[in-house]
Amino acid sequence: MALDEFLAELDQLAAQADKAFGSAGGAEAVEAARVEFLGAKSGRLRAVQKGLGKVDKADKPAAGKRFNEVKNQVEAALVAATDRLKNAASGARTGSQFDPTIPGVRRRLGRLHPITQTIEELTDIMGRLGFTVAEGPEVEDLWHNFEALNIPLEHPARDPLDNFYLATGAVGAGPDRADAAGADRQKWLLRSQTSTVQIRVMEKTKPPVRIISLGRVYRPDTADATHYPMFHQIEGLLIDRHVTMADLKSILHLFAASFFQDDVEVRFRPSFFPFTEPSVEVDMSYDGGWIEFGGAGMVDPNVLASVGYDPDEVSGLAFGLGIERICARRHGVTDIREFFKNDVRFLRQFH
Ligand code: PHE
C-alpha cells in the first residue's frame, strides 16, 4: 500500500473522530464514538493499524509514527469529551452557567410603619430642641397613672368605664404608693396617658428636666375616624427655673413648624387637667380650620410636690399630643383606623 493512501485514510479517521467526540451531547454518544474509533476488536483505529502491515517496508517508520500521533489525538478527544460533559453537569448545579439576560426577580423592601416613622421624626425634632427620650411601662400602677398626677381617688378619670384595669392582682413587686395614699390595694391598668412618665422621670432626677416620651396608651373608646382604644402619645416635660406659658407655646410652635414644614398656627383653648394649672387644649391650623392635637399646661405645684420638687424653686411645662393625629395630618389620612388594619396596600404608601 502506498504511504499516501495510508496517511489519507488516517487523516480522514482523525477528522471524523474529532467531530464525533466534539459533538457528542451525552455519555451514550461518547461511548458510541469510543467503541467506533477506539474499540479493541473492531474499532476503526484497529482496522487501520492492520493496514500498517501492508505499507511498503521503507515507508513503515513514517506510517507508524503518524498512526501513533492519530491514536493519541483520538484518545485525547475522548478524554476532552468526558470532561466537557462532567463540567456541564456540575455547572448546572452550581449555577455557573448564569444567564445575565434573564429578567431578575424584584425583591420588595419592607418599610417602617407610618406611626413608627412619625415617632422617629418627632424624636429627631425634639432632640434638636434639647429634649431626650424617656420611657415608661405600659402596665402602670395607680400612683403613676393617677395619684401623683393629682388625680385623687374620687376623680371621675379613674372610672373603670374609662380605663383598662387589669383583672390580675400584683404584677411584679414594687412599692404600692397608691395604697399608702388610701387607694385600692395593688390595682394595675394599661396606662391611659404618657403623663405617667413625667412622674417616673421626676422621681429619679433632680431638676432641670427636659424629656419627651413616646408610646402607646389605652382607653376603652369606641373606634371611629379619630379614636382608637390604643393610640400613641408624645409627652413633653420641661422643668427649670422661670419656665412660663410663653415657653410652652413657642416650643409647640417650633415643633409644629418643623414637622409640618409650613407656618402652622398653634392655638390654645382654656381647659382642665388635674396635673396642670393653667391647662389648655392644643389646636393646630389645617386646611382653613383647626385640629385638636392634645393637651398641655404648666405643671401643677401639687405634682411637683408629689415627686419631692420645691414648687417655689422650679416651675414646668408639659404637653401630651396624639401621634396618630399628627401623622394623619401630615399625610392627609382621614381615618386613623387605617393605621391598624395592617393592609400593606395602605402601609406601602409611606416612604
Ligand atoms: N395626659 C393628657 C391627656 O392624655 C395630655 C396632657 C399632657 C395634658 C400633659 C397636660 C399636660 O389627654
List, for residues 246-263, the tens digit of each pLDDT value: 999 999 999 999 998 887
Q: How many angstroms separate the alpha carbon of residue 309 from the centre of ligand 1?
A: 20
Closest atom of ligand 1 to CA, residue 295: 8
Give the separation between CA 62 and CA 6, rounded to whole angstroms: 10
Q: How many angstroms separate the alpha carbon of residue 291 from the centre of ligand 1?
A: 16
**What are the pocket residues of ligand 1 if the criterion is a CB atom closer than 6 Å to any ligand atom?**
193, 195, 273, 276, 279, 294-297, 318-320
| Closest to 55 measured CA to CA, from 12, 8, 3 | 3
Question: Each residue of 264-292: pLDDT tens digit?
Answer: 899 999 999 999 999 999 999 888 899 99
Q: How confident is the model at residue 109 (pLDDT cuts 50, 70, 90)?
A: confident
Percent helix, strand and coil across the chain, each rounded to 5?
Answer: 45, 20, 35
Give the separation between CA 16 and CA 23, rounded to whole angstroms: 11
Closest atom of ligand 1 to CA, residue 217: 4
SS3 338: helix
Q: How many angstroms separate the alpha carbon of residue 283 from the centre of ligand 1?
A: 13
Closest atom of ligand 1 to CA, residue 296: 10
Furthest-apart CA atoms within the chain: distance in Å: 130
Domain limits, the chain: 3-94, 114-347
7, 12, 15, 17: CA torsion to nearest 10: -100
**235 near 212, Cβ under 8 Å?**
yes
Q: In whole angstroms, how far apart are CA 277 and each of 153, 186, 251, 303, 343? A: 19, 29, 18, 10, 42
Which one of 1.20.1050.10, 3.30.450.20, 3.40.190.10, 3.30.930.10 gives the CATH number of domain 114-347?
Answer: 3.30.930.10
Candidates 151, 155, 193, 268: which one to mutate for ligand 1, based on the most atoms within 8 Å of Cβ? 193
Q: How many angstroms separate the alpha carbon of residue 102 from the centre of ligand 1?
A: 58
Average of per-residue pLDDT across 102-122: 92
Note the pLDDT of residue 50. Answer: 87
**147 near 181, Cβ under 8 Å?**
yes
* DSSP sequence for 36-65: HHH-TTT-HHHHHHHHGGGS-GGGHHHHHH
